[in-house]
Chain A
Amino acid sequence: MFILLLLLSVVIQGVFGNFPFAFFAFPLDALIALLWIAGMVYAYKEMPTSRFVQCWLTPQCTYWTLGWFIAGCLVIGLFPQLSAAEASERSGLLSRLGCYHFTTSWIFVMGLFALLTHLGMITLRRGFRPGRNRWRFVLNHAGLWLALFAGVVGSAEEQTLRIPVFRDTPNNEAISEQGTKVYLSKELQLNDFVVDHYPNGVPRHFFAEISIDGKPARLEVNHPYAANWAEDYYLTSYDVQSEQPRYCVVQIVREPLKYIMWAGIVMMLCGGCLLFLAGPNEPKKALSETSC
């Protein structure tokens, strides 16, 4: 089954090109996510003995999905990753397979989908079974599931904008990662900028006081300003030519699923601590592996 899934992803990638994340924007992503979760729960509860469900619960599935993920990481790590526009200008087989923008290649996305489905199914199975190290298992696997889920499903909603904020005039014209202009509903203006230097001239510390539609906000590296639950403002650079900077560049990140990812990370941190405290499990007797 996994070989078929891999081949299918290669064919889809070859025919349709990279995965259209933008197409799956809200509410389509939420609908698909709900159907997917409901499908996993239904399949596990109502058809636990079916060959299809058993396939997603085998150790063989673990090896396949982890191997697929590692292979994907190696492609991303070894090939230069370009922007979507630059990658589309490349030709050849590797480009056709999406190697230059592999995080949106069907091959990688399908691998993540398989990994998420496997993680979801085994978490359901282990979560309902009492026994030693149950919480360690659930925290690690459900945590990874949440973090990956927020990363994959949240990609359609995520938006990163950059906007120069001037001292003289308010500005609301931002640039997206794709290079298109986006007009914000609020205006930003720089009120004050403070830079402290080391004796050799390297910046030691800097922060900006800006106003967002008249509302004051302080921006500093490592200390973003949270405009609301999904939107954060980051100070990314500033006018280094002038002694008194005339502008700074602010990055606006909209990430509606950020708290889901945060919850997944915290769960994995707790699961990791339990992994260290309890140590290795007793190896299980070789499980019968269904050929999928």
Chain B
Amino acid sequence: MMFTWYNFDWFAWVSIVLWASGAGVALFCKERSRWAILLTSLGTLVFAVFIVGFWIYMQRPPLRTMGETRLWYSFFMGVSGLLTYIRWKYPWILCFSTVVGAVFAMINILKPEIHDQTLMPALQSPWFIPHVTVYMFSYSVLGCAFILACMGLIKHRADYLEATDKLVYTGLTFLTVGMLTGSIWAKAAWGHYWSWDPKETWAAATWAGYLLYVHLRLFRKRSLRSLYGILIVSFLALQMCWYGVNYLPAARQSIHMYSRS
């Protein structure tokens, strides 16, 4: 079977249905549900099969364009939502991870893009795969922290902070590794570890935002609203870093513009 962009719809719909079924089961079970875990795992596996097949078909890692990074985000959202559910048993977390994963998959269905096999020489580096996948994983974990922060803010409950702390530590670690591997790669490709390119600048702002949260938590400072607020604002900065920056006038000078699709 050929894993081209044209049969992505089938894989995406099967995954979304499985994720939604898992989320539905989790929502109606008071305890951690094995069926919810199984259905969500199957949905994530179907998505993973498409990514691997697409990778083989393209003869390059599908990480170049925005549409391709959205693939990884949907996949990692499934993984992160599942891990959060297994660890903290929030019955509603799978609903949110499903909605977020499905939205990004739907964008790819509704806005099909040309995904050719070309990979420009700058992207032909051993750092390419770790840099992008680590970033995408951190985005999905921090996405879960964002969902919890929104819930915490709405319900005005402090007990989500234990989970957000652990998610932020995990997400921040991967964000740091992504940023540092990126700087080592930038030195080899462009000559400078850091050049205050618009994407790098927003990455630094996002990183510092999560650092601020970690330090505020460490010293038990600030109100719940401030803590959840910082998580929400940091996640918005992360969206700017990922794709929002493309819409800024400053992006015209960016060296990170491999594809505007």
Q: Which residues from chain A sit less than 8 Å from chain B, CB to CB?
A: 59, 62-63, 66-67, 69-70, 73-74, 76-81, 103, 147, 151, 158, 160, 198, 200, 202-206, 220-224, 232, 234, 251, 253, 255, 258, 261-262, 265, 268-269, 272-273, 275-276, 279-281, 283-287
Contact = CB atoms under 8 A, between A and B. Distances in A.
B212 A66 contact: yes
A281 B218 contact: yes
B205 A77 contact: yes
Contacts of B189: 221-222, 234
23 contacts: A59-B221, A63-B212, A66-B211, A70-B209, A73-B205, A77-B240, A202-B120, A221-B189, A222-B124, A222-B185, A222-B189, A234-B189, A234-B191, A261-B193, A262-B193, A265-B180, A265-B183, A268-B176, A269-B181, A276-B169, A276-B170, A276-B174, A280-B169
A276 B173 contact: yes
A204 B60 CA distance: 12
A151 B116 contact: no
Contacts of B49: none
Contacts, number: 140
Between A73, A255, A273, the greatest number of chain B beta carbons within 10 A of the residue's beta carbon is seen for A73
A280 B165 contact: yes
B192 A253 contact: yes
Contact of A204 (B118, B125, B187, B193): B118
A73 B201 contact: yes
Contact of A70 (B120, B169, B212, B248): B212
A206 B202 CA distance: 32
B36 interface: no
A52 to B, nearest CB: 21
Contact of A273 (B173, B209, B218, B250): B173
Q: Is the interface of A mostly helix, strand, loop or mixed?
A: mixed
B62 to A, nearest CB: 16
Contacts of B124: 205, 221-222
B250 A284 contact: no
- Interface bin, chain B: 35 or more
Contacts of B29: none
Given A69-B208, A151-B194, A279-B166, A78 B248 contact: yes
A18 B173 CA distance: 35
Given A222-B122, A253-B191, A269-B180, A283 B201 contact: no
B261 interface: no
A74 B205 contact: yes
A79 to B, nearest CB: 7
B218 A286 contact: no
Contacts of B194: 151
B261 to A, nearest CB: 15
A75 to B, nearest CB: 9
A204 B119 CA distance: 7
Interface string B187-200: 11111111010100
A265 B208 CA distance: 16
Contacts of A285: 220
B156 interface: no
Contact of B184 (A62, A103, A265): A265
A66 B219 contact: no
A23 to B, nearest CB: 21
Interface in B42-61: none
A220 B125 CA distance: 11
Between A203, A280, A285, the greatest number of chain B beta carbons within 10 A of the residue's beta carbon is seen for A280
B208 A223 contact: no
Between A74, A79, A261, A272, the greatest number of chain B beta carbons within 10 A of the residue's beta carbon is seen for A272
Contacts of B212: 63, 66-67, 70
